[in-house]
């Protein structure tokens, strides 16, 4: 792409040239100005290959404009616009270092496009002759203060275009060097600062460098990239570590998606791993997806405040959400059926692929809303959602098969058959499993006798509860209590040791 700036105080001429160039596929008009002073300010912060300028303009003449461009190295190519009766001006402009000229009254798409390509070829050859003749190309200096900056486009498809632009920008402003992709790493910039520059001067230079890169890339791609900058270092051996620091700083974009520059020196990541538990009853209850969204938002806000690394957040969430989904589905489906649901609602992929905390919140909430909606519809069609819900709410009472069958207007035998087909368990087995979960909760509390627990959980007597407990869990209540005591003692010892 050839970047062109048009400068002419005659608006018709300026707009005419701009409209002609818009039809040239490989030529991009970076800007168009009526005053040389405005164009000069633009050139100080924007990369342009060729300036097309009139000579006679108010306030600052074209000749003075050309002189300043050359003195400040603001553009490599210059084409002047000339009239027949002002050719003396053209000769003086050429002596100042212009590369071509166009006659205003003979401009058309063919002539202007041909002249721009001719000049671009000329300046490309000129730059090639100035480039150091070595196989490795320009190399960073051994001494001096440096910093590594990585850059990333919102759309990866434009990353290659951005790399070419950054190479031009870095060379134009003499910021340092662009290092092409090596060892699987993305291209990155090594900023170099003058040895005499103090810390404040380096800070101002760095801000100027990042602003120039962001502004120019946006100018030519219409996409705003983001940059992540390492801490300063001196030796070339510090480049790999600098790259890692910049890459680490770039993770902050997960929380601050509207920020364009991230500095490693400003970021301190926490090593904590805060957990999150989602409430199954709220999710399947009246509050539904609203409760899940609040819990997820609260967790992400906590991670943002505590500066938990996005990688850590995703690791914890993938595990927590997977366990949560399984705990919801296992109430109604077999493991084989659950595999179908997991494939239909890939929570892990949704979490891992999220580019930002906001995107993760939106994507995961939307996915879980879909899961909940389809789950409710399927259970409603199956006709047993209300039965399972009834059992959950009344499992501490003495529920009878006759009671459940009448609830569904079925005979007891038909109800048992359909219930088993739906849950892969007999009704009594399912009810006892729910009751044993309640028994475990009372055993944890340790404030009731076994007889009292049997009464509270709807068993006909203590002995029957003990037999059902062993059949359901594979262990006696005494063994279960011992395991809990040993487990709690181990946890206490581990905490004391770590403390």
Please, which contacts does 101-106 make with residues 24 or more away whose CB atoms are closer than 8 Å?
A: 102/52, 104/13
Rounded Cα gap, residues 499 and 486, in angstroms: 20
Helix axis angle for 310-329 and 357-382, nearest 10°, is 10
Name the strand (E) or helix (H) holding 82: strand 77-82
Which is nearest to 78 in space by CA: 95, 58, 53?
A: 53
The per-residue pLDDT for range 287-301, each reduced to its tens digit, is: 789 999 999 999 999
Q: What is the pLDDT of residue 133?
A: 44
Q: What is the pLDDT of residue 254?
A: 95
Distance from C-alpha of 330 to C-alpha of 254, rounded to nearest angstrom: 33
Tell me how far apart the alpha carbons of residues 136 and 118 are, in angstroms, rounded to a whole number. 29
* pLDDT score recorded for residue 136: 46
Backbone torsions φ then ψ of 2, nearest 5 degrees: -100, 120
Q: pTM of this prediction? A: 0.59
Helices (H), 222-346: 239-250, 280-284, 289-306, 310-329, 335-344
Report the first-to-last Cα separation within the chain, whole angstroms: 62
Helix orientation angle between 289-306 and 310-329, rounded to the nearest 10 degrees: 160
Regions of the chain short of the pLDDT cut 50: 132-137
Torsion, CA 403, CA 404, CA 406, CA 410, rounded to 10: -140
Q: What angle do CA 286, 292, 294 make, to 5 degrees?
A: 105
Q: What are phi and psi of 477, to 5 degrees?
A: -65, -35
pLDDT of residue 353: 93
């Amino acid at each position: 792409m050839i970047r062109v700036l048009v400068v002419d105080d005659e608006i018709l001429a300026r707009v005419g040239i701009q409209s002609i160039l818009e039809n040239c596929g490989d030529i991009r008009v970076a800007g168009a100005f009526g005053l040389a002073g405005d164009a000069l300010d633009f050139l100080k912060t924007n990369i342009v290959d060729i300036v097309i300028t009139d000579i006679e303009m108010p306030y600052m003449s074209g000749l003075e404009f050309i002189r300043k461009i050359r003195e400040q190295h603001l553009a490599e190519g210059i084409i002047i616009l000339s009239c027949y009766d002002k050719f003396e001006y053209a000769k003086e402009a050429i002596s100042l270092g212009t590369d071509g000229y166009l006659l205003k009254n003979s401009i058309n798409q063919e002539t202007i496009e041909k002249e721009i390509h001719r000049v671009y070829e000329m300046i490309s050859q000129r730059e090639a002759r100035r480039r150091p003749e070595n196989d490795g190309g320009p190399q960073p200096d051994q001494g001096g203060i440096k910093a590594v900056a990585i850059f990333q486009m919102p759309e990866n498809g434009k990353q290659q275009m951005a790399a070419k632009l950054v190479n031009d920008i870095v060379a134009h402003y003499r910021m340092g060097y662009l290092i092409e992709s090596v060892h699987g790493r993305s291209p990155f910039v090594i900023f170099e600062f003058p040895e005499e520059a103090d810390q404040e001067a380096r800070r101002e230079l760095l801000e100027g460098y990042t602003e120039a890169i962001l502004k120019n890339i946006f100018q030519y791609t219409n996409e705003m990239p983001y940059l992540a900058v390492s801490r300063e270092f001196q030796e070339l051996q510090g480049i790999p570590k600098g790259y890692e620091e910049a890459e680490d700083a770039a993770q902050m974009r997960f929380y601050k998606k509207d920020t364009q520059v991230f500095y490693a020196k400003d970021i301190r990541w926490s090593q904590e791993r805060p957990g999150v538990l989602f409430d199954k009853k709220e999710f399947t209850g009246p509050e539904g997806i609203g409760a899940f969204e609040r819990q997820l938002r609260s967790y992400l806000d906590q991670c943002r405040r505590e500066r938990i690394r996005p990688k850590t957040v995703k690791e914890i969430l993938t595990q927590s959400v997977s366990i949560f989904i399984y705990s919801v589905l296992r109430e109604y489906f077999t493991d084989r059926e659950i595999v179908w649901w997991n494939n239909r609602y890939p929570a892990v992929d949704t979490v891992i692929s999220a580019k930002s905390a906001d995107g993760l919140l939106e994507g995961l909430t939307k996915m879980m809303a879909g899961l909940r909606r389809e789950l409710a519809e399927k259970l409603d069609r199956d006709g047993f959602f209300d039965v399972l819900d009834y059992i959950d709410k009344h499992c501490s009472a003495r529920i009878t098969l006759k009671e459940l069958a009448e609830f569904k207007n079925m005979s007891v035998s038909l109800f048992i058959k359909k219930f088993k087909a739906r849950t892969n368990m007999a009704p009594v087995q399912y009810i006892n499993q729910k009751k044993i979960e309640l028994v475990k909760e009372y055993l944890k509390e340790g404030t009731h006798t076994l007889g009292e627990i049997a009464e509270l959980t709807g068993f006909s007597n203590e002995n029957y509860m003990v037999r059902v407990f062993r059949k359901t869990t594979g262990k006696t209540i005494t063994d279960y209590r011992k395991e809990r005591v040993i487990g709690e003692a181990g946890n206490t010892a581990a905490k004391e040791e770590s403390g």
